[in-house]
Amino acid sequence: MAELFRNFIAGEWVAGATASVNRNPSDTADVVGEYAQADAAQAKAAIAAAKRAFPAWSTGSIQERANILEKVGAEILARKDELGTLLSREEGKTLPEGIGEAARAGQIFRFFAGEVVRMAGEKVASVRPGVDVEVTREPLGVIGLITPWNFPIAIPAWKIAPALAYGNTVVCKPADLAPGCAWAIAEILSRAGLPPGVFNLAMGRGSVVGEALVNDPDVTALSFTGSVSTGRGIAAKAIARMAKVQLEMGGKNPLVVLDDADLPTAVNVAVQGSYYSTGQRCTASSRLIVTAGIHDRFVAAVADKLSTLRVDNALLTGTDIGPVVDASQLDIDLKYLEIGKGEGARLVTGGERLQRATDGYYLSPALFSEAGNAMRIAREEIFGPVACVIRAKDYDEALAIANDTEFGLSAGIVTTSLKHATHFKRHAQAGMVMVNVPTAGVDYHVPFGGRKGSSYGPREQGRYAAEFFTTVKTAYTAA
């Protein structure tokens, strides 16, 4: 019998209405655990607990809040190897990637521990004599956090930490596919000294627990990361009841490679950004837009590099790329490989289903060339180890292709030209721009988010997180 991991509601560990089995995508015989699945009534109980806890928490000691967040961050950092191993086991990222993500979650908690005591308002002169004006930030209330499977510890951390830091109470619903890391954060929070109800974990289906959060009038604000279609549905319902909402969704991120690029840098940036974490990153560079003078050398060098990467069990030393997360994502990846071939792109390398010592969802990293930006493989997010090369005649055409997408999360360029790097930083239509570094891989203390179809609402992370997790008050006092 696998261990049952329970929900955390009103300071108590409670079994769900049902449970779901969390399996290791590197080895489907390995069961990580059974995780409670809340029903609508349990989700409602979590929201009610968060509502009851809000008045005291939101007006309580900021030193206490800072201490708790610091303690959580320190424990996550101290246990990063163990938590990173859990992450790799349930999601399929390689061990170094899993440990790196766990460490990042710890750093995020520590960052927001500091932000608690750095929060400041403004005192400004009134245009009316004898009146003082103050502008302050206040917490919102109960926040519903809905997170995806692909960053199962970092994304819950970058929503939970600021939500609590700014004085809100929380109900967190992690992805059903990889709830183990969010459960581990909840377990650490449960021992950190939080009053009951300030933080609640309600695992379960999006269509049940997620919907309950989205539709409940006691949930003041919703922070969501996931797919475009789910995000749009959540936004429509949240706005209909005037709830504050923040969405981080998909990407079809371009990486422009110019003739003057250093070829080894271009290859490393492309391979790291497109294929590491099995390409399952919203910031992955899935469109490689390459100017004519370097095109053929770049395609050959990327293909060579891909042939040296080891695709295997995420927990093995030496694995570069772990498995795809589950059978249905693997089907999607394979379907897009057929679509790409059918559209006339050339499959240069990869795209093969691989067998390894353990039964998992292994796919060799796939590179298409001769792709057009109108093709579905260049327009739709695949979310797997699949990238396509689009040829451009010069920088201007490459920039136009880079911006010709409904998404706008991350955009990169590899060049030695200051002129083109500077122009690209200004004119790439994306929330994050990268020069000679991969489109994926960001710092924890600066804003994260995109434009166009990728994001909606204020940015996450860094000091900018206050925009979403607080509301502004303007107070006038007759002197």
**Least distance to ligand NDP, CB of residue 210, Å:** 2
Q: Which stretch binds ligand NDP (CB under 6 A): 2-10, 26-34, 141-149, 156-164?
A: 141-149
Using rule CB under 6 A, residue 101 touches ligand NDP: no
Q: Catalytic: 248?
A: yes
Which residues, numbered 247-306, are part of the site for ligand NDP (CB under 6 A)? Answer: 248-251, 282
**Least distance to ligand NDP, CB of residue 406, Å:** 13
Using rule CB under 6 A, residue 18 touches ligand NDP: no
Specify the residue, 298 or 383, whose C-beta has the smaller distance to ligand NDP: 383
DSSP annotation string for 349-389: E---EE--SS---EE--EEEEEE-TTSHHHHS---SSEEEE
Specify the residue, 169 or 225, whose C-beta has the smaller distance to ligand NDP: 225
Q: How far is CA 153 from CA 109, 132, 189, in A?
A: 12, 44, 13
Rg value, the chain, Cα: 23
Give the phi and the psi of residue 352 in degrees, each rounded to 5. -100, 140
Q: How far is CA 211 from CA 169, 224, 247, 282, in A?
A: 18, 12, 15, 23
Which residues, numbered 203-232, are part of the site for ligand NDP (CB under 6 A)? Answer: 205-207, 210-211, 214, 225-227, 230
Specify the residue, 327 or 475, whose C-beta has the smaller distance to ligand NDP: 327
Of the residues 90, 115, 181, 282, only one is catalytic, namely: 282
CA distance 263 to 301: 8
Specify the residue, 148 or 385, whose C-beta has the smaller distance to ligand NDP: 148
- Fill in the per-residue mask, 451 to 470: x = in contact with ligand NDP (CB under 6 A), - = not in contact: ---x----------------
**Least distance to ligand NDP, CB of residue 250, Å:** 4
Contacting residues for 253 by C-beta, under 8 A, at least 6 apart: 273, 283, 284, 285, 286, 287, 407, 409, 410, 411, 412, 430, 439, 440
Give the phi and the psi of residue 408 in degrees, each rounded to 5. -165, 50
CA distance 168 to 59: 10
**Least distance to ligand NDP, CB of residue 67, Å:** 29
**Alpha-carbon 340 to chain mean position:** 26
Q: Which stretch binds ligand NDP (CB under 6 A): 59-67, 164-172, 201-209, 340-348?
A: 201-209
Q: Which stretch binds ligand NDP (CB under 6 A): 51-59, 172-180, 354-362, 429-437?
A: 172-180
CA distance 160 to 154: 10
Specify the residue, 146 or 289, whose C-beta has the smaller distance to ligand NDP: 146
**Least distance to ligand NDP, CB of residue 186, Å:** 15
Contacting residues for 360 by C-beta, under 8 A, at least 6 apart: 24, 25, 26, 27, 28, 92, 313, 323
CA distance 479 to 477: 6
Q: Catalytic: 172?
A: no
Using rule CB under 6 A, residue 368 touches ligand NDP: no
Using rule CB under 6 A, residue 147 touches ligand NDP: yes
Q: Which of 5, 8, 57, 151 touches ligand NDP (CB under 6 A)? A: 151
Tokens of 18: 């049902």
Of the residues 248, 381, 388, 460, only one is catalytic, namely: 248
The CA-CA-CA angle for residues 399, 405, 407, to 5°, reads: 115
Using rule CB under 6 A, residue 16 touches ligand NDP: no
Terminus-to-terminus CA distance in the chain, angstroms? 69
Using rule CB under 6 A, residue 148 touches ligand NDP: yes
Specify the residue, 225 or 285, whose C-beta has the smaller distance to ligand NDP: 225
CA distance 13 to 36: 10
Determine the size of the site formed for ligand NDP (CB under 6 A). 31
Helix orientation angle between 95-118 and 62-78, rounded to the nearest 10 degrees = 170
Using rule CB under 6 A, residue 409 touches ligand NDP: yes
Q: Which residues bind ligand NDP (CB under 6 A)?
A: 146-151, 173, 175-177, 205-207, 210-211, 214, 225-227, 230, 233-234, 248-251, 282, 381, 383, 409, 454
Q: Which residues are catalytic?
A: 248, 282
